[in-house]
């Protein structure tokens, strides 16, 4: 006895689990749909284990469910019936002996399920099995096949097994004559069996025992017969010795190499190889026929590269015999096997092979016929010759080919139709065609049939006096004949039986008695075979008896359908009735159904169906009963299933699986991946209700199945995890349509890994100039997989393909085969031809060498010609193999005509263009004269000079260059750098502008002429002084709020005063949300760095703007806001995103000093970090000749010393990101991130404002890298790229070094000696103030330039001469007081406008920074002098000057 292992141990002894099913297929005895997932219904019957299964196709993205409920134990009869299915039963991986568990059905259920269905039907309506303890005639249970082929090296075994009661005895016939086993010492019969064993260990030849054997099993109730077994000994004869001459054939002709293997039993398997055991490559041109011959549709020269040997493999001996090889000799009109002609569309004509229409090599002629037996495979074959190689197509006359059974083999040369039936007969024809024509061959197919059963006779069990019949009905073509036998003898020669009547294929029995017991044989045969069946007639008189164990416990699942089995036997056949809990009437109808074999089916199990069921079998001889106890359990269900998910690599995924089950059953939850057990590694975590995958990788993609099971049932749910990844590499690259200048490349796309392929990049490699280096050839959209590539002559190409999707690019495909194009003369000449002198007496001619795709032939070289220009000299020429040639002994800087022409072994390239080059230059001999300097403003000057004579340049005039340096500052005790800087003025110019100067400084300047060789002599040294400028912003502006009543402000002096500070201006305004108060202005002395503001209310906040002032005006302002009150919820807003602000500058300055405060040579892009909304300030510049108002937008910039960083996310491709620069005045630290290997080389490239580019090579592990040759105050652009591939580069970032300005101006206000000094001069200061007060009291009027353009209010006192009366200013509050001031402070501007130096507003700068227009002197000198005198009387300036 055994239980169905899928449900495990069922409990105590005698306890089984009954299978259930959700569909009605079992109840209606029909085969379920093959596209549903199953519930298996198992029924225990007489010799039957019944399955009813629903299969559902598994599709991606659909949660698949499957429930299995299986039970019951097998009877001894069922054991025997299921033994044959044991090996075919699928098992859960890792489940040991847990038995059959259903898997997903892709097309149809597995074979064992079909077999189970067959047993189900046999159990419901099949023959009744007699228990073995009752008397019964023999039955054959096992026998050898009809055609029994044996290995001559082993003993011969002819099987014959039978059962019966009493046990049968056995004897054999050989060739229809009695075979006396006892007389032959080599032959024996197994005990309790009829199996013959022929032993050859002591000698003997197996061939002596060949023949036809038949087994007879006999007891006192009859005789059963086996089939006639034809015994044959396997044969593997040796290949006959033969000497094969070389086969000579013309290129393009057809050829057949015959195999003619020796006849073997069974027939050997034929295959062709070379003598070195290399397989012969077969295609539609060269292929092996079904008869073993090798057919060439047309022979090519490359077919000589190997020999051809036919090999035969024999099945039983496991040996391979090899025939002597054939050697081919191909006669050709084109002796060279040029790879460029292979697969060429005009390959045959190119090789001089005449094209031919197709003709059939096998079968010959236009028609043939073929006979095939029903149930076997039909193989039709057509092999044709022709040039080009013909294509084969198959058709059926009057209909279509059977798509479900037909398949094409051997490159469409063979048509195979499996499991042939009568409707497959008819006419088939093959069509062979090429571009020259077509031909067809018709094959007439006739289907015959060996006998096959329509109604096979079954055992007949009758009670005395009952009637019955045996039916033997078969069909075939031709129609088979039927012969009846009884106990192995023809029925005609058997003793007469009045109770028996023969009516053709039926024997009728009436009023049978005990004497009617016998075994009948039905033999039906035709010319193609025979069928033999045994069926016994047994007459018994037996009371009812139960065949299954008593008092079984059966556990079933709620709401499913189950069947209670009660196997019984009796003669006459008993009637069976069912009762529940020993009460009530017979159970039948409604929710119950009783089958003919007595099984009780409960269509839907409910809780109230639990109880004890009794089956009672009754006939005229008595009755028997048995009981079954039924328990109902709750089903196992997954109520929260895993869901399909799409994710990227590296993320975390959780798949849920929550289960409900009967608490009395043990639950097991496991996971499968792609229907195989999932290995839970360290990246996965399995919990009771979920599965978590950390760091998802591409290999994690697939279907995940949660499998929940108990002893009785199971449930599963499936979800699909999709991982987006880079595409797989393309594969199977193939070159076709090969022409002289093009080829078609075809490839098979790889898996796109769930992200569609957008592009394909085709690369090529050639092995002459740069072997191993791959170059991009072309790019194609992702929807194509074939492209025509344009090629260059004389290149040995090899191609590969890279697929690209949104995630990244694939690995390159494996390279294609090589293809060399034929050579040709060059079609172009080298580019970038130049002639330049490296010394003053030579000229070096250089050019860019031509690459592999432009060489067009071997031995590429260059013909170099040159002569002096306009001298009509003859051309000098030389042949050069490299990329340069030096001409010596040339005059200084003389023009030459130059030509460089390419040449290879196939000829010369086109006539080259003439290029003008120059011999070497010498240093200039003269310096610019009459250098004039005009100060434009505090940071710029204009230059003017006289040009030098051209003959003194001695080369090409590159530029005029000004060298200048800062000699000293006008501020005391201020150290300055005297490093030389330079400003370049390209071309033949007479004027220019030097900017980026420091205000309030003494400078010196010299001019030189520059050519390609270098600088000429220097001009005389000029000196000039820059005026004051506006200061930079105050440093470290701090706003503190110690309480809700006051706000403390502190700041430091500007880093660059750019003149004498005269004070600070503070503007502040109160605001509360969108409400803004009136702006208040405070002015402070130059030494004051603190201020306290009294808050008007505890709620409002303040915005402070602070700037420093010199005599020229206010400088850059800095803005801060007071902190928010603690109880105020400050809204968090996204910082404003502003584009990079481009600051336009003028002039062309090539500076080598880093102390310049601002860029003036080009448009500089700097990142803007806003702290407040941008403020637009109207700037007014006044001059005597012009007046211009310029509106500028200023925003807060990050300090120059702050590091610059490009924030980027880490990409999947090899790349460089997050470049960070931390600059100082003369150096900067640079770091970056990358995903290259540890040994990768990088290059740091940086360019200064003068367009001077420098590079620093660095290893990947050497970060940070320090750039040590920077100049203070200069703007740089920087990027980092891979040394191996410059295309892989970081983004370009911009940074500025800090200036080298050192502020030695100490704050002496807190020094002790200064306090003493101030006491000494206090009296003098008081006297000065009294004098000023007296003069004002008298109405003194002073022209004030700063107020000149400001409109006056009605309250402002004004005199007719434009003067202002300062007598009212005595009421002005003292600086530093807490009282707020109304009004605004006018923005002080620099009067150093470049426009002041033009006339009529026409002065301007052109693109190279030179100044256009006439230089004029200021006409308002008197006003300027007035300002200077007014400034001298300022006591604040007097105090500051003492510092």
DSSP 169-216: EEEEEETTEEE-GGG-TTEEE-TTS--EEE--TT---GGGG-EEEEEE
Which position has the token pair 């005389």?
Answer: 1020
Q: Among 119-133, 200-214, 486-500, which stretch is predicted with the lowest mean pLDDT?
A: 119-133
* 1285, 1310 Cβ separation under 8 angstroms: no
Query: Averaged over 856-879, what is the pLDDT?
Result: 91
Whether the pLDDT of residue 407 is over 90: the answer is yes
Query: Averaged over 409-436, what is the pLDDT?
Result: 94
Longest dimension (CA), the chain: 172
| Tens of pLDDT, residues 1334-1363 | 877 665 444 433 433 434 343 343 333 333
Q: Among 677-681, 965-969, 1046-1050, 1434-1438, which stretch is predicted with the lowest mean pLDDT?
A: 1434-1438
Contacts of 1399 (CB under 8 A, 6+ apart): 1185, 1186, 1413, 1414, 1416
Q: Which one has a higher pLDDT value, 881 or 1307?
A: 881
The answer to whether the bond into 363 is cis (omega within 30° of 0) is yes
- Name beta bridge partners: 475: 452
- Name beta bridge partners: 731: 748
| Tens of pLDDT, residues 93-135 | 333 333 333 333 333 333 333 333 333 433 444 456 788 888 9
Neighbours of 381 (CB within 10 A): 19
Residue 336 confidence (pLDDT): 52
Does the CA dihedral 284-285-288-293 come out positive or negative? positive
Q: Among 701-710, 1008-1017, 1148-1157, which stretch is predicted with the lowest mean pLDDT?
A: 1148-1157
Residue 584 confidence (pLDDT): 65
Give 1311's pLDDT tier (boundaries 50, 70, 90). Answer: low
Q: Among 372-381, 985-994, 1068-1077, 1414-1423, which stretch is predicted with the lowest mean pLDDT?
A: 1414-1423
Residue 345 confidence (pLDDT): 54
Backbone phi and psi for residue 912, each to the nearest 5 degrees, phi listed first: -80, 160
Long-range contacts of 981-984 (CB under 8 A, 24+ apart): 981/1149, 981/1151, 981/1152, 981/1153, 981/1156, 982/1150, 982/1151, 982/1152, 983/1147, 983/1148, 983/1149, 983/1150, 983/1151, 984/959, 984/960, 984/1010, 984/1148, 984/1149, 984/1150, 984/1250
Q: Which one has a higher pLDDT value, 1131 or 913?
A: 913
Query: Averaged over 883-899, what is the pLDDT?
Result: 93
* 760, 801 Cβ separation under 8 angstroms: yes
- Name beta bridge partners: 878: 864
Residue 1385 confidence (pLDDT): 35
Give kind and range of the element (H or E) at residue 1185.
Answer: none
Query: Averaged over 222-239, what is the pLDDT?
Result: 91
Calculate ∠ Cα 1139-1143-1148, nearest 5°. Answer: 140
C-alpha distances in Å from residue 602, one per residue of 18, 559, 595, 608, 916: 11, 10, 11, 12, 106
Whether the pLDDT of residue 885 is over 90: the answer is yes
Whether the pLDDT of residue 686 is over 60: the answer is yes
- Name beta bridge partners: 959: 986, 1010
**Closest among 1167, 1307, 1279, 1308 to 1219, alpha carbons compared:** 1279
Q: What is the distance in angstroms between the CA of the first residue and the CA of the last residue of the chain?
A: 116
Strands 196-198 and 622-633: unpaired
> Which tokens is 1082 given?
């405070």
Residue 930 confidence (pLDDT): 94
Contacts of 1043 (CB under 8 A, 6+ apart): none
| Tens of pLDDT, residues 741-777 | 999 999 999 988 888 999 999 999 998 888 999 999 9
Contacts of 1334 (CB under 8 A, 6+ apart): none
Give 650's pLDDT tier (boundaries 50, 70, 90). Answer: confident
Query: Averaged over 414-438, what is the pLDDT?
Result: 94
**Rg of the chain taking only CA atoms, in angstroms:** 54
Contacts of 537 (CB under 8 A, 6+ apart): 137, 459, 460, 462, 468, 470, 509, 512, 516, 517, 518, 519, 520
Contacts of 476 (CB under 8 A, 6+ apart): 449, 450, 451, 452, 524, 526, 528, 529
Strands 957-969 and 981-986: antiparallel
Give 1168's pLDDT tier (boundaries 50, 70, 90). Answer: very low
3-state DSSP assignment of residue 258 = coil
Per-chain mean pLDDT for the chain:
78
Cα torsion through 547, 552, 557, 561, rounded to 10 = 30
**Closest among 107, 455, 152 to 316, alpha carbons compared:** 152
Query: Averaged over 493-513, what is the pLDDT?
Result: 88
| Tens of pLDDT, residues 67-97 | 333 333 333 333 433 343 333 333 333 333 3
Does the CA dihedral 1185-1190-1194-1198 come out positive or negative? negative
Backbone phi and psi for residue 854, each to the nearest 5 degrees, phi listed first: -120, 0
> Which tokens is 378 given?
């039909």
C-alpha distances in Å from residue 1073, one per residue of 1025, 1102, 1130: 50, 11, 10
* 1058, 1110 Cβ separation under 8 angstroms: yes
Query: Averaged over 1378-1387, what is the pLDDT?
Result: 36
Whether the pLDDT of residue 919 is over 50: the answer is yes
> Which tokens is 428 given?
């088939």
Whether the pLDDT of residue 45 is over 80: the answer is no
CA atoms within 13 A on the CB side of 569: 19
Query: Averaged over 1118-1131, what is the pLDDT?
Result: 70
- Name beta bridge partners: 56: 36
* 655, 704 Cβ separation under 8 angstroms: yes
Contacts of 314 (CB under 8 A, 6+ apart): 234, 236, 264, 268, 320, 321
C-alpha distances in Å from residue 480, one per residue of 422, 504, 523, 531, 532: 16, 13, 10, 10, 12
**CA dist., res. 1045 & res. 1266, Å (int):** 49
> Which tokens is 279 given?
């397989």
Neighbours of 134 (CB within 10 A): 14
Whether the pLDDT of residue 677 is over 60: the answer is yes
Residue 409 confidence (pLDDT): 94
Contacts of 451 (CB under 8 A, 6+ apart): 474, 475, 476, 480, 524, 525, 526, 528, 529, 530, 531
3-state DSSP assignment of residue 936 = strand
C-alpha distances in Å from residue 112, one per residue of 41, 66, 83: 14, 18, 11
Query: Averaged over 943-956, what is the pLDDT?
Result: 92
Residue 1319 confidence (pLDDT): 78
Residue 309 confidence (pLDDT): 93
Which of the 8 DSSP states describes residue 1421? H
- Name beta bridge partners: 1003: 966, 1024
* 1080, 1381 Cβ separation under 8 angstroms: yes
Share of the chain above pLDDT 70, in %: 75
Whether the pLDDT of residue 170 is over 50: the answer is yes
Q: Among 29-43, 828-842, 1051-1065, which stretch is predicted with the lowest mean pLDDT?
A: 29-43
* 557, 605 Cβ separation under 8 angstroms: yes
Give 350's pLDDT tier (boundaries 50, 70, 90). Answer: low
């Amino acid at each position: 006895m055994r239980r169905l292992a899928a449900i495990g141990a069922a409990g105590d002894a005698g306890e089984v689990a009954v299978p259930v099913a959700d569909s009605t297929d079992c109840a209606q005895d029909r085969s379920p749909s093959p596209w549903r997932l199953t519930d298996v219904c198992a029924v225990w019957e007489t010799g039957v284990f019944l399955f009813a299964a629903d299969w559902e196709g598994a599709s991606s993205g659909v949660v698949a469910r499957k429930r299995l409920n299986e039970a019951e134990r097998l009877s001894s009869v069922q054991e025997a019936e299921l033994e044959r299915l044991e090996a075919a039963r699928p098992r859960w991986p890792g489940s040991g002996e847990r038995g059959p568990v259903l898997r997903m059905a892709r097309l149809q259920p597995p074979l064992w399920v079909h077999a189970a269905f067959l047993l189900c039907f046999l159990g419901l309506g099949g023959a009744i099995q007699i228990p073995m303890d009752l008397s019964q005639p023999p039955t054959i249970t096992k026998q050898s096949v009809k055609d029994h082929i044996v290995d001559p090296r082993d003993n011969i075994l002819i099987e014959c097994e039978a059962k019966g009661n009493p046990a049968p005895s056995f004897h054999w016939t050989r060739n229809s004559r009695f075979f006396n086993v006892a007389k032959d010492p080599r032959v024996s019969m197994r005990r309790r069996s009829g199996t013959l064993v022929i032993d050859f260990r002591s000698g003997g030849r197996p061939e002596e025992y060949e023949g036809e054997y038949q087994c007879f099993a006999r007891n006192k109730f009859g005789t059963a017969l086996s089939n006639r077994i034809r015994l044959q000994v396997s044969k593997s004869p040796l290949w006959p010795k033969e000497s094969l001459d070389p086969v000579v054939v013309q290129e393009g002709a057809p050829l057949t190499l015959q195999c003619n293997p020796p006849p073997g039993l069974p027939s050997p398997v034929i295959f062709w190889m070379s003598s070195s055991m290399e397989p012969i490559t077969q295609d539609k041109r060269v292929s092996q026929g079904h008869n073993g011959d090798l057919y060439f549709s047309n022979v090519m020269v490359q077919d000589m590269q190997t020999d051809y040997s036919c090999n035969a493999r024999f099945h039983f001996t496991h040996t391979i015999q090899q025939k002597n090889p054939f050697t081919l000799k191909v006669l050709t009109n084109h002796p060279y096997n040029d790879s460029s002609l292979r697969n060429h569309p005009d390959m045959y004509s190119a090789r001089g092979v005449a094209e031919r229409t197709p003709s059939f090599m096998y079968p010959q002629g236009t028609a043939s016929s073929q006979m095939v037996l029903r149930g076997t495979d039909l193989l039709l074959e057509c092999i044709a010759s022709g040039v080009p190689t013909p294509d084969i197509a198959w058709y059926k006359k009057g209909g279509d080919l059977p798509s479900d059974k037909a398949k094409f083999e051997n490159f469409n040369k063979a048509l195979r139709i499996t499991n042939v039936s009568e409707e497959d007969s008819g006419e088939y024809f093959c069509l062979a065609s090429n571009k020259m024509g077509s031909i067809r061959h018709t094959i007439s197919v006739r289907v015959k049939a060996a006998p096959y059963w329509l109604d096979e006779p079954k055992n007949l069990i009758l009670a005395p006096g009952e009637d019955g019949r045996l039916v033997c009905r078969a069909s075939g073509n031709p129609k088979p004949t039927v012969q009846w036998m009884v106990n192995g003898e023809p029925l005609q020669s058997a003793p007469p039986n009045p109770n028996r009547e023969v009516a053709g294929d039926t024997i009728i029995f009436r009023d049978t008695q005990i004497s009617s017991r016998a075994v009948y044989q039905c033999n039906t045969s035709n010319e193609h075979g025979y069928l033999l069946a045994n069926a016994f007639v047994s007459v018994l008189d037996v009371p009812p008896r139960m065949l299954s164990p008593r008092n079984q416990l059966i556990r079933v699942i709620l709401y499913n359908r189950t069947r209670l089995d009660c196997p019984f036997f009796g003669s006459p056949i008993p009637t069976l009735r069912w009762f529940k809990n020993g009460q009530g009437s017979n159970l039948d109808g409604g929710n119950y159904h009783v089958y003919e074999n007595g099984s009780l089916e409960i269509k839907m199990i409910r809780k109230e169906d639990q109880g004890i069921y009794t089956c009672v079998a009754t006939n005229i001889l008595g009755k028997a009963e048995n009981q079954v106890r039924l328990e109902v359990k709750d089903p196992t269900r997954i109520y929260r299933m895993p869901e399909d998910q799409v994710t990227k690599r590296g993320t975390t995924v959780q798949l849920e699986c929550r289960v409900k089950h009967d608490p009395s059953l043990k639950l097991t939850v496991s996971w499968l991946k792609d229907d195989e057990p999932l290995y839970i590694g360290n990246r996965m975590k399995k919990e009771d209700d979920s599965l978590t995958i950390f760091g998802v990788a591409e290999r994690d993609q697939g279907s995940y199945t949660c499998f929940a099971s108990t002893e009785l049932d199971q449930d599963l749910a499936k979800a699909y995890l999709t991982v987006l990844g880079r595409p797989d590499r393309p594969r199977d690259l193939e070159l076709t349509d090969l022409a002289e200048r093009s080829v078609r490349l075809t490839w098979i796309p790889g898996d796109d890994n769930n992200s569609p392929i957008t592009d394909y990049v085709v690369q090529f490699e050639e092995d002459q100039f740069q072997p191993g280096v791959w170059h991009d050839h072309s790019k194609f959209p992702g929807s194509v997989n074939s492209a025509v590539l344009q090629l260059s002559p004389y290149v040995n190409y090899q191609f590969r393909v890279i697929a690209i999707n949104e995630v990244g690019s694939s690995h390159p495909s494996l390279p294609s085969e090589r293809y060399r194009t034929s050579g040709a003369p060059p079609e172009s000449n080298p580019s970038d031809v130049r002639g330049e002198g490296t010394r003053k007496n030579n000229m070096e001619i250089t050019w860019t060498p031509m690459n592999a795709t432009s060489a067009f032939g071997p031995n590429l070289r260059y013909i170099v010609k040159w002569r002096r220009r306009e001298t009509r000299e003859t051309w000098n020429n030389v042949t050069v193999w490299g990329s340069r040639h030096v001409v010596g002994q040339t005059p200084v800087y003389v023009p030459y005509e130059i030509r460089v022409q390419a040449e290879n072994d196939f000829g010369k390239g086109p006539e080259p263009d003439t290029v003008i080059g120059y011999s070497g230059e010498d240093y200039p001999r003269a310096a610019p004269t009459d250098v004039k300097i005009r100060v434009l403003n505090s940071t710029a000057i204009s230059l003017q000079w006289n040009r030098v004579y051209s003959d003194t340049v001695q080369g090409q005039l590159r530029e005029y260059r000004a060298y200048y340096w800062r000699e000293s500052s006008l501020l005391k005790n201020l150290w300055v750098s005297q490093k030389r800087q330079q400003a370049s003025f390209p071309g033949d110019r007479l004027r220019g502008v030097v900017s980026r100067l420091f205000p309030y400084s003494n400078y010196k300047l010299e001019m030189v002429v520059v050519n390609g060789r270098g600088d000429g002599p220097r001009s005389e040294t000029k000196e000039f002084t820059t005026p004051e400028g506006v200061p930079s912003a105050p440093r470290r502006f701090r706003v503190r709020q110690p309480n809700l009543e006051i706000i403390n402000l502190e700041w430091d002096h500007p880093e660059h005063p750019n003149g004498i500070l005269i004070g600070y201006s503070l503007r502040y305004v109160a605001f509360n949300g969108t409400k803004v108060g009136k702006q208040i202005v405070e002015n402070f002395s130059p030494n004051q760095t603190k201020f306290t503001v009294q808050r008007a209310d505890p709620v409002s906040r303040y915005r402070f703007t602070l700037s420093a002032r010199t005599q020229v005006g206010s400088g850059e302002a800095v803005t801060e806001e007071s902190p928010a009150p603690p109880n105020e919820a400050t809204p968090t807003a996204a910082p404003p995103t502003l584009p990079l602000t481009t600051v336009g500058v003028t002039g062309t300055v090539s500076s080598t000093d880093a102390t310049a405060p601002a860029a003036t040579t080009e448009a500089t892009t700097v990142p803007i970090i806003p702290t407040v909304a941008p403020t637009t300030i109207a700037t007014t510049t006044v001059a005597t000749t012009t007046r211009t108002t310029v509106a500028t937008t200023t925003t807060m910039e990050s300090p120059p010393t702050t590091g610059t960083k490009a924030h980027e996310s880490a990409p999947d491709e090899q790349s460089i990101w997050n470049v960070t620069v931390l600059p100082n005045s003369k150096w900067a630290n640079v770091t970056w991130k990358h995903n290259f290997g540890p040994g990768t080389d990088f290059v740091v490239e940086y360019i200064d404002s003068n367009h001077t580019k420098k590079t620093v090579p660095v290893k990947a592990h050497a970060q940070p890298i320090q750039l040590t040759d920077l100049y203070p105050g200069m703007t740089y652009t920087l990027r980092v790229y891979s040394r191996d591939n410059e295309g892989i580069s970081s983004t370009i970032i911009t940074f500025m070094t800090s200036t080298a300005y050192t502020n030695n101006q100490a704050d002496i206000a807190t020094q002790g000696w200064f306090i003493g000094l101030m006491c000494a001069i206090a009296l003098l200061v008081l006297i000065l103030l009294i004098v000023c007060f007296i003069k004002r009291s008298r109405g003194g009027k002073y022209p004030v330039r700063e107020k000149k353009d400001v409109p006056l209010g009605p309250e402002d006192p004004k005199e007719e001469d434009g003067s202002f009366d300062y007598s009212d200013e005595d009421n002005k509050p003292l600086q530093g007081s807490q009282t707020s001031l109304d009004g605004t402070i006018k923005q002080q501007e620099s009067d150093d406008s470049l426009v002041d130096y033009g006339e009529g507003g026409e002065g301007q700068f052109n693109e190279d920074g030179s100044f256009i227009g006439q230089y004029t002197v200021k006409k308002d000198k008197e006003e300027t002098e007035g300002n200077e005198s007014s400034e001298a009387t300022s006591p604040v300036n007097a105090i500051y000057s003492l510092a």
